[in-house]
Structure 1
Amino acid sequence: MLQAIGLTSAPHRGRPPAVDDLTFEAGSGRVTALLGAPGSGKTTALRLMLEIESGRGVTYFRGRPLHRIPHPAREVGVLLGDVPGHPVRTARGQLRMLSAAVGVPASRADELLDVVGLAGLGDQRLGALSLGMDRRLGLASALLGDPHALILDDPGEGLSPRENAWLHGFLRAHAAQGGTVLYTTCDPEEAARAADHVVTVDAGRLVSDQDAVDFSRTRLRPRVVVRTPHAARLAAVVSREARAARRSVEVVTEAGSRLSVYGSTCAEIGDTAYRHGVPVHQLADEIADTGPAAATAPDPATATAPEAKAVSPGRASPASGPDAARAQPEPTAYGPEAAPRTASPVPGSEHVPSIRRRSARGPHRPVRYELRRLFGVRTTTLIMAAVLVVSVGLSVLLARTGHAPLPNVLAAWPEVLPLPPAAVGAGLLGALSFGDEFRYPALAAGRGTVPRRLGLLMAKLAVSAGVALLLALIVAAASAEALRLVYGGDLVGFPSNAAFSAVSWVGLNVGCAWAGLLAAGIFRVTAAGVAAVLAVPVLVVPLVRRVLSGAAGHSAPGLPGRLRELAWVQWPNGMDSWVMAGVRVVAHPVGAALSLSLSILVCAYVFTGLRGRVRW
């Protein structure tokens, strides 16, 4: 069961709150429709229930608020809008990535593709999915954790009648298994047809809380729709005959040449038009919506007779006579002057707490999530392939001139370039790690941000470092093999400073990857990460060179021996060369500039994260 108590949104700029003291229930085993016109506060109510927006109130999911549930995805499945996924990612890849975020096996993705009818479209890209397929994929995403409750925001908007019928059949099947279903809609006929319970809101306040049968009886009325070029004449004739027969008939003149006749049938209207020679272009039965204010008395000035009335355009007053009693809402209906409904006793209902806007939770399996996010699109493979081709070409050209040292040749780093292609590629992949998260927020649907969790950050740092290391090794190995193939084996030898060169090369690539990742996480855009990577050699390195040129140089002989004395575990003597290589890398202007940039970016990332928590 889902219980929402006293939901009230925070007012903005002096305006009244979009949701004001909204209280209702959605029972287990039932489909509940939250009905209201566009702008009535339906979506805001869902965001308050899910603690996405700040305000007041509390929502209990089987007796517990959302922030007290250890695994929310296993209790509540949410679909707010479209599926926030990269357009080139496949449907199966999207669900597998979200499976790692929810903490369920990857096989769950294939199971749900079959459940929602997308078994044959698992390799289809998200950008090529139709609206109906996108809704099915969204349902599959919401069902990954096998939740008890489903909360959907206008899931049938824009769907064809066939897709809409499938959707509501699916929701009923979930409710039949004991689950709770709550969805928003602006169509009262759809709510009466597809839901077991209808909660109507208007201007953020509760209007009615009824079963579907009572809702249909009190709000929906049958009518005959007539389209004729002589609408005024036909309205007068129908009203005159209804008065003569003392029948309760209401005629509403709408825009253009359209009439709505309440209390009659198509056969009666057709016979009347035929007898009086009135041409009819359309004649059909419909179910009309009387609106939330169905109990409002009609304007006496618009009534033409006690039993038959012709109403001005835009008014849909209730039927008079025998139908008037059926049009009145039940005493349990909510309205501005209705008695407040007493909710069932709920723990903590004596005090309505404040709703604190909480950021999205991080993935339960962050490393697996990051790997599937990174390699689930072809962008990563294309970037690595482009870096490899450019690096090999530059290595062959540098070796041909014979002026560049061997480490620069293997790294494909001519002096005219601020960074080698491998470092730029590693920085770009690191920037995409957070840039794509903010552009396609799969972890924070509806929140517009990405969770700042330590586990997610550590996973991104580890995966980006691993990819940068792999890229550095592949480029060096491919360049060496290309040089042996083109110029023979004598050109490529083992340099004397191999340890320093290896540490420098790996450190440069990993540092660029981390710089791009952190900058994109701070500024929430990929371009900021790429700019931070290029700023290291262009701006920071000249500044560090100027500072170091003015300081007296000091060497650090014997540093590995002193570190060995301080360490608890004695490392082999061969480690001394690697320690000195690391020290020389940090002391190098490029290494110092990269270390300084990373330190600043880490502090800025921590500061922005703390500021966001204080604001929320």
Structure 2
Amino acid sequence: MLQAIGLTSTPRRNAPPAVDDLTFEAPPGRVTALLGAPGAGKTAALRLMLELDSGRGVAYFRGRPLHRIAHPAREVGVLLGDVPGHPSRTVRGQLRMLCAAAGTPVTRADEMLEVVGLAGLGDQRLGTLSVGMDRRLGLASALLGDPHTLVLDDPAEGLSPRENSWLHGLLRAHAAQGGTVLYATADPKEAARTADRVVTLDAGRLVADQDVTDFARTRLRPRVAVRTPHAARLAAVVSREARAARRSVEVIPEVNGRVTVYGSTCAEIGDTAFRHGVPVHQLADEIGDTGPAAPPPDGTEAHRPAADLSELPPPIRARPARGPLRPLRYELRRSLGVRTTTLIMASVLLVSAALSVLLARTGGTPLPRALAAWPEVLPLPPAALGAGILGALSFGDEFRYPALAAGRGTVPRRIGLLLAKLTVTAGFALLLAALTVVCGAQCLRLFYGPELITVPANAFALGASWAGLTVGCAWAGLLAAGVFRVTGAGIAAVLAVPVLVVPLVQKVFAAPSARSVTGLPGRLRELAWWQLPQEADRWVLAVARLVAQPVGAALALSLSALVCAYLFTSLRGKVRW
């Protein structure tokens, strides 16, 4: 059962709240429609229930508020608007990525494709889906965790009558299995046709909470819709004849030459228009809504006294989204589910190979720089820049296409998700660094012969420095995009390291120093409670030498600042919420 008690949204400035003291229940095994005209507060009420917006009140899902449910995706399935996914990702890839986020087996994705009728479209891109297919995919995403409750915001918007019938049949089947279904709609005829219970809102307040039979009897009645260029004249003629015949007929002129007549028939209106020479462009029978403010005659309208200010409902705090239950698997599927990663790596390898050949041809470039494809005029080699772009996209795509926010709001800032992103981007950066050197060596061997390729004496130190540069750039882009919530900020942070930070570090190292770090490994061994092996001297000196380089020091400084900024924003969000 879904219970909403005292839901009240936070008003903006001097405007009234979008939802005002809303209380109702959506029982299990039944379909409940939240009915209201556009702007009545339906979406705001759903967002308050899901703790996406701040306000007051409480919403219980089988007796527990959402923030106290360990795995919300297994209790509540949510569809708010379109599917928030990368347009280049496939339908199957989107669902498999969400399976990792919900902690469900990957086979659940194919099962849901069968349920929603998209089994043959698993390889289709999200950007090519029609409105109907997008709604089907959204329902599949909501059903991945096999939830008890479905919360849907106008799921039939833009659907054809056939797709609409299929949608409500699926919702009816979910309710028949004991689940709870709550969906918002602005169409009273749709609510009367598909729901078991109708909760009506007007200006954010509860107007009526009725069984569908009572709703259809008290809120819907037949009417005649007429469209004519002489609407005012026809309305006057029909009203005059109704008074003369002492018949209860209600005539309501509307915009664009439309007249709505209650208490009459198409035949009577057509005869009246013919007798008085009024041309008619449209004449049709309809089922009309009496309006949310009209009280039902049987007293089923939900009039309740205003809430006592001394007993305010508890506050609702908008909480950030939970991270994926399987963050490493989620991040791998997110990164490899689109062609962007492959295209970036392929472009970097092609550019690096071409630069390696050109640098070796001049003869003035050392072999390590030629293999890394790093000419003096470039602030960073293509491999480091490509790794930084991949890192920036890792968090940038989360904010641009928030797949994890489909039912929970903002992109999560969890340590597990951050560690998964750091691991995956580091793996891509190391792979890119290794492939760049291998491809460069093979190109030089092919163009100039094997005698050009020689292993330098300090190959280990050079390799460690090269790996640290690419991984550091990847992490700098990742953390900057996570802090500033945009991909461009991550790329700017990567470029700022050689352009801005390195010159500052060079000035620091160029200044005269009165102290030396000579003997650092021995002093570290003395401070350690365990006995370091003698080989550790070489490792510690290699690390110190690497950090002492301007680029290494600049990367270390930048990463430290970005880590602190990321942790600060994460902790501030937890304290605020």
Q: TM-score, normalised by structure 1?
A: 0.88
Give the C-alpha shift of residue 330 in structure 1: 2.7
> 2:266 maps to which residue?
266
Indicate whether 1:495 and 2:463 are aligned: no
CA distance in 1, matches of 2:12, 2:520: 61
CA distance in 2, matches of 1:511, 1:29: 54
Pick which of 479-488 and 15-24 moved more. Answer: 479-488
> 2:471 maps to which residue?
510
Q: In structure 2, which of residues 281, 301, 320 is the aligned counterpart of residue 333 of structure 1?
A: 301
Q: In structure 1, which of residues 503, 515, 520 is the aligned counterpart of residue 481 of structure 2?
A: 520
Structure 2: runs of 5+ lacking an equivalent: none
Give the C-alpha shift of residue 339 in structure 1: 4.4
1:163-182 aligned at under 5 Å gives the runs: 163-182=163-182
Give the C-alpha shift of residue 556 in structure 1: 4.8
Pick which of 220-229 and 270-279 moved more. Answer: 270-279
Q: Is the 8 A contact 1:5 1:24 kept in 2?
A: yes
> 2:75 maps to which residue?
75
Q: Secondary structure at the match of 2:428?
A: helix
With over 3 angstroms needed to count, the CA separation of the structure-2 counterparts of 1:566 and 1:485, relative to structure 1, is farther
Q: Is the 8 A contact 1:51 1:355 kept in 2?
A: yes
Give the C-alpha shift of residue 554 in structure 1: 6.3
CA distance in 2, matches of 1:187, 1:429: 46
Give the C-alpha shift of residue 408 in structure 1: 1.1
Q: Secondary structure at the match of 2:404?
A: coil
With over 3 angstroms needed to count, the CA separation of the structure-2 counterparts of 1:272 and 1:538, relative to structure 1, is closer
Q: Quick one: percent identity of the two aligned structures?
A: 76
CA distance in 1, matches of 2:355, 2:516: 35
Q: Secondary structure at the match of 1:58?
A: strand
CA distance in 2, matches of 1:588, 1:487: 32
> 1:596 maps to which residue?
557
CA distance in 1, matches of 2:480, 2:558: 10
Give the C-alpha shift of residue 445 in structure 1: 2.9
Give the C-alpha shift of residue 78 in structure 1: 0.6
Quick one: which amino acid aligns to residue 156 of structure 1? A
How many pairs were matched up? 574
Q: Deviations over 1:247-294 (max 9, x none)?
A: 433333334544333222223434455566655433211011111122
CA distance in 2, matches of 1:105, 1:446: 20
Quick one: which amino acid aligns to residue 100 of structure 1? A
Q: Is the 8 A contact 2:11 2:17 kept in 1?
A: yes
Q: Secondary structure at the match of 1:105?
A: coil
Q: Deviations over 1:175-203 (max 9, x none)?
A: 11111111111111111111111111111
With over 3 angstroms needed to count, the CA separation of the structure-2 counterparts of 1:333 and 1:580, relative to structure 1, is same
1:452-463 aligned at under 5 Å gives the runs: 452-463=413-424
Give the C-alpha shift of residue 553 in structure 1: 7.6
Give the C-alpha shift of residue 246 in structure 1: 4.2
Q: In structure 2, which of residues 539, 552, 569 is the aligned counterpart of residue 608 of structure 1?
A: 569
CA distance in 2, matches of 1:278, 1:54: 55
Q: In structure 2, which of residues 442, 446, 460 is the aligned counterpart of residue 485 of structure 1?
A: 446
With over 3 angstroms needed to count, the CA separation of the structure-2 counterparts of 1:293 and 1:499, relative to structure 1, is same
With over 3 angstroms needed to count, the CA separation of the structure-2 counterparts of 1:482 and 1:63, relative to structure 1, is same
Give the C-alpha shift of residue 129 in structure 1: 0.6
Q: Is the 8 A contact 1:33 1:199 kept in 2?
A: yes
Quick one: which amino acid aligns to residue 440 of structure 1? Y
CA distance in 1, matches of 2:82, 2:399: 15
Q: Secondary structure at the match of 2:450?
A: coil
Pick which of 250-259 and 119-128 moved more. Answer: 250-259
> 1:381 maps to which residue?
342
Q: Deviations over 1:572-597 (max 9, x none)?
A: 65554343222210111111111111
Q: Is the 8 A contact 1:99 1:105 kept in 2?
A: yes
Q: In structure 2, which of residues 357, 365, 371 is the aligned counterpart of residue 404 of structure 1?
A: 365
With over 3 angstroms needed to count, the CA separation of the structure-2 counterparts of 1:498 and 1:559, relative to structure 1, is farther
> 1:254 maps to which residue?
254
> 2:192 maps to which residue?
192
Q: Is the 8 A contact 2:90 2:124 kept in 1?
A: yes
1:89-488 aligned at under 5 Å gives the runs: 89-228=89-228, 231=231, 234-235=234-235, 238-239=238-239, 242-243=242-243, 245-273=245-273, 279-295=279-295, 328-334=296-302, 338-340=303-305, 352-445=313-406, 449-488=410-449
> 1:580 maps to which residue?
541
Q: Is the 8 A contact 1:332 1:341 kept in 2?
A: no
With over 3 angstroms needed to count, the CA separation of the structure-2 counterparts of 1:147 and 1:571, relative to structure 1, is same
CA distance in 2, matches of 1:555, 1:506: 27
CA distance in 2, matches of 1:45, 1:599: 42
CA distance in 2, matches of 1:237, 1:595: 85
Quick one: which amino acid aligns to residue 402 of structure 1? G
Give the C-alpha shift of residue 429 in structure 1: 0.4
Q: Secondary structure at the match of 1:210?
A: strand
> 1:299 maps to which residue?
none
Q: Secondary structure at the match of 1:443?
A: helix
Q: Secondary structure at the match of 2:225?
A: strand
Structure 1: runs of 5+ lacking an equivalent: 296-327, 343-349
> 2:46 maps to which residue?
46
Q: Deviations over 1:411-431 (max 9, x none)?
A: 111111111110000000000
> 1:11 maps to which residue?
11
CA distance in 1, matches of 2:31, 2:184: 11
CA distance in 2, matches of 1:151, 1:372: 27
> 1:310 maps to which residue?
none
CA distance in 2, matches of 1:421, 1:76: 45
CA distance in 1, matches of 2:255, 2:515: 90
Q: Deviations over 1:130-171 (max 9, x none)?
A: 111111111111111010001011111222222222211111
User: CA RMSD of the aligned region, Å?
Assistant: 2.3
Q: Secondary structure at the match of 2:403?
A: coil
Give the C-alpha shift of residue 386 in structure 1: 0.6
Q: Is the 8 A contact 2:87 2:125 kept in 1?
A: yes
Q: Is the 8 A contact 1:6 1:23 kept in 2?
A: yes
Give the C-alpha shift of residue 341 in structure 1: 11
Q: Deviations over 1:75-122 (max 9, x none)?
A: 000111111111111111111111111111111111111111111111
Quick one: which amino acid aligns to residue 428 of structure 2? V
Quick one: which amino acid aligns to residue 298 of structure 2? E
Give the C-alpha shift of residue 45 in structure 1: 0.7
Q: Deviations over 1:511-536 (max 9, x none)?
A: 00010111111111111111111111
Q: Is the 8 A contact 1:499 1:581 kept in 2?
A: no
With over 3 angstroms needed to count, the CA separation of the structure-2 counterparts of 1:237 and 1:597, relative to structure 1, is closer
